[in-house]
Amino acid sequence: ERAERHLAAQYAVTRVLAEAHGQADGIPRTLQAVCETLGWDAGLFWTPQGGELHVDAAWARPEVPAAEFQAASRAVTFERGAGLPGRVWAGGRPAWIRDVTRDAGFSRAREAAAAGLHAGFGFPVAVGEECLGVMEFFQRPVAEPDDALLETMSALGTDIGQFLKWAHAEERLRDRDERQRFLIGVGERLAASAPDYAGTVQSLAALAVPALGDWCSVYLREADGEVRRLTTTHADPGKAGLAEALSRYGHQPDGVVTQVIASGEPVLVPDITPEMLERSATDAEHARLLRELGAHSGMVVPLGARGRMLGAIVLVSGATRHYGDEDLRVAMEFAHRAALGVDNARLYAQAQEANRVKAEFLATMSHELRTPLNAMIGYTDLLEAGIPEPIAGKPLEYVRRVGVSARHLAQLIDEILTFSRVEAGRETVAVREVELEALLAEVRAMVEPLALEKGLPVEVHLPPHPVRFHTDPAKARQILINLLGNAIKFTDQGRVELRACLRGGDVVLSVCDTGIGITPENLERIFDPFWQVAQGTTREAEGTGLGLSVARRLAQLLGGSLVVRSTPESGSTFDLCLPLSGPSGASI
Ligand code: ADP
């Protein structure tokens, strides 16, 4: 009968192990299966961790009041040779106690007595020489050692050991998969974050916790060469205040962060001692923050990209894990990807700055050019008007040509000035009520001479009823003159039209030409600043390439839009759409 019970136990445990997903569900169910098949009341599983045995899992029959006993077991750890589990661990052999409540070497005797537990035994869970843990079982009756039972359990210990080895390998694989997936996601997540420096650093910190640690600090070398702590982030939102307070502290100039940035080599501290924490703090408050944030294990890894050392990231584990070589490897890989993201943000900021400087330079230059040009235009006007004395023939013709060229130059300069004002967000809008017919007549008068020179008629089509609307007339005029100027410039025969119609709450002003048209691949690019379609040697360099980009931005400033349709070789139509009520419903 006893042999049958042992067989049943073996069978039950084998089944549990075969069905378990891992250590977390396999071990408690093994404790239960042994108790239920062999008539024992409570079981514990101890695993070695940092040189001592800790309780990993516990099970007891519901009718046994074992909570206190289990809690006492969880609260103690045993070195090799100490207590029942320690003796089993050291000897590699099972051990039996007939009554734990009367055993001087059994430290949990009082709690066992409270639970009514008396007999106890332990056996190693081992594969060959490698001990993976110790199992303990207890029952209510006092009992003499049962060698047959211990023999059966020793055999089971090997089965459970095999299972644990498999479960650990499986867990490692899962961890590796997860880490791999995490690392692959880093670049993608950083690229999706805000392109600026601060945004990138924040998302980098948010990625690092809790994946790599409980909290982290990011240090970067800034433009002035100084290394600064940019953020400290804690995985626990309840500790955000502490992290925030810590981020106000700098770092020790002779500390580990400086060392890592200088050498490019990471530093791993598996166990952070209280003395180390004290030493790395600059004052008592700093030390208190570090203690409260919790620091048991830490890594400092360099942030290096494209041959430059950008900074370092400090990763800290509060209590849950002790970092090892594998953690360091993952952290290095993470830092490498993160550093690329940070460097991209830096390059982006530099490019933005370069654009700003270019616009500013152009604006200053243009401003300087405008003054002498105004003088030239003024004096040619005087000469043409016969002041101080009348001129005629060739001299008059030459003066006229100087005047036309000067005006053309002035127009280009104005375009650059408008562009830089719009770019800098300094362009203001002066809205008033405008009569459509008058506006179009004015525009026509300004462009007609140019068109007639090329033999092109300018046709204006108005809606049947007078239209009044709200806009900034100077800007509307500037856009239309620009569009008509282009239409004339790129049309050799046919005509140029300016059509107005009402659509919904908008007035749509269309400039159509029968010119060379624009190929589909260039349709959107023509709105980019400084961009021109290559026109062949004769036409190149006419204009600044700013006209349409300025026109579209002004249209948006007026609350409207500018779009184009075109058929190469047969003509283009630009639709300027403006709200009748003015930009964002503004009135006079
Ligand atoms: P630019 O001042 O050099 O003309 P724009 O920004 O006004 O610069 O125009 C950009 C480019 O778009 C022009 O160089 C030209 O190639 C093309 N483009 C603009 N308007 C027309 C049009 N009506 N027909 C054909 N091409 C045009």
Greatest Cα pair distance, the chain, in angstroms, is: 138
Q: Which of these, 423, 427, 407, 409, lies nearest to 361 by C-alpha position? A: 423
Judge if the upstream peptide bond of residue 302 is cis by omega within 30 degrees of 0. Answer: no
Identify the pLDDT of residue 588. Answer: 36
Q: In what helix (H) or strand (E) does residue 478 lie, and over which residues does it extend?
A: helix 473-489
Say if residues 418 and 362 touch (Cβ distance below 8 Å). no
Helix and strand tally (H, E) in the chain? 16, 17
What the block records as the tokens of 236 is: 């626990």
Q: 54: part of which helix (H) or strand (E)?
A: strand 52-60
Q: Which residues contact 53 (CB under 8 A, 6 or more apart)?
A: 46, 47, 77, 78, 79, 85, 86, 89, 133, 134
Q: Could you tell me which residues are beta bridge partners of residue 60? A: 42
Is residue 490 lining ligand 1, measured as CB closer than 6 Å?
yes
* Residue 571 alpha carbon, nearest atom of ligand 1: 24
Separation of alpha carbons 128 and 575, rounded Å: 84
* Cβ of 513 below 6 Å from ligand 1: yes
- Name the residue at shortest CA distance from atom 1 of ligand 1: 545
Q: Which of 532, 542, 544, 563 to mutate to test the pocket of ligand 1 (most atoms within 8 A of CB)?
A: 532
What SS3 state is found at 264?
Answer: coil
Q: CA torsion, points 229, 235, 241, 243, in degrees to nearest 10?
A: -20
In this structure, what token pair is assigned to residue 286? 């700093």
Q: HSE (CB half, 13 Å, CA atoms) of 246?
A: 25
Position 578, amino acid: L
Q: 33-59 as b/e, with b when 16 or more CB fall inside 10 Å?
A: bbbebbebbbbbbbbbeeebbbbbbbb
Radius of gyration of the chain (CA): 41
551 pocket-lining for ligand 1 (C-beta < 6 Å): no
Which DSSP category does 78 fall into? B
Please answer whether residues 232 and 316 qualify as being in contact, where contact means their C-beta atoms are separated by less than 8 angstroms. Answer: no
pLDDT tens for each residue of the chain, 588 residues long: 888 888 899 999 999 999 999 999 999 999 999 999 999 999 999 999 888 999 999 999 999 999 999 999 999 999 999 999 999 999 999 999 999 999 998 999 999 999 999 999 999 999 988 999 999 999 999 999 999 999 999 999 999 999 999 999 988 888 888 888 888 888 778 777 766 778 888 888 888 988 899 999 999 988 888 888 888 899 888 888 888 888 888 777 778 899 999 999 999 999 898 888 888 888 888 889 888 888 899 999 999 988 889 999 999 998 767 899 989 999 999 999 889 888 888 888 888 788 778 778 888 888 888 889 999 999 999 999 999 999 999 999 999 999 988 988 888 888 888 888 887 788 889 999 999 999 999 999 989 988 999 999 999 999 999 999 999 999 999 999 999 999 999 999 999 999 999 999 999 999 999 999 999 999 988 998 877 777 554 554 467 788 999 999 999 999 999 999 999 999 999 999 999 999 974 433
Ligand 1 centre distance from Cα of residue 526 (Å): 6
Q: Is the Cβ–Cβ distance between 548 and 527 less than 8 Å?
A: yes
Q: Is 516 in the pocket of ligand 1 (CB under 6 A)?
A: yes
Kindly give the distance from the C-alpha atom of residue 557 to the centroid of ligand 1, in angstroms, as a whole number. 21
pTM given for the model = 0.52
d(CA 493, CA 513): 9
Contacts of 575 (CB under 8 A, 6+ apart): 508, 509, 510, 562, 563, 564, 565
Q: Give the residue, by CA position, lying nearest to ligand 1 atom 16.
A: 533
Q: What is the DSSP string of 340-390?
A: HHHHHHHHHHHHHHHHHHHHHHHHHHHHHHHHHHHHHHHHHHHHHTT-SS-
The answer to whether the beta carbons of residues 191 and 341 sit under 8 Å apart is yes
Q: Closest ligand 1 atom to the C-alpha of 550?
A: 6
Whether the CB-CB separation of 233 and 209 falls below 8 Å is answered with: yes
Whole-angstrom distance, CA of residue 458 vs CA of residue 484: 9
Tell me, in angstroms, the distance from the centre of ligand 1 to residue 422's CA. 19
Closest CA to ligand 1's atom 20: 486
Burial label, 273 (beta-carbon count in 10 A; 0-12, 13-18, 19+): exposed
367 contacts 417 by C-beta, under 8 angstroms: yes
Q: Which of 483, 548, 565, 576 to mutate to test the pocket of ligand 1 (most atoms within 8 A of CB)?
A: 548
- Binding site membership of 290 for ligand 1 (Cβ less than 6 Å): no
Mutational test site, ligand 1, from 409, 447, 526, max ligand atoms within 8 Å of CB = 526
Closest Cα to atom 23 of ligand 1: 487
Distance (angstroms) between ligand 1 centre and the Cα of 577 equals 19
The amino acid at 235: A
Asked if residue 487 has its Cβ within 6 Å of ligand 1, the reply is yes
CA of 151 from ligand 1 middle (Å) equals: 94
* DSSP secondary structure letters along 497-541: EEEEEEETTEEEEEEEE-SS---GGGTTGGGSTT------TTTTT
**Residue 492: its pLDDT value, please?**
93
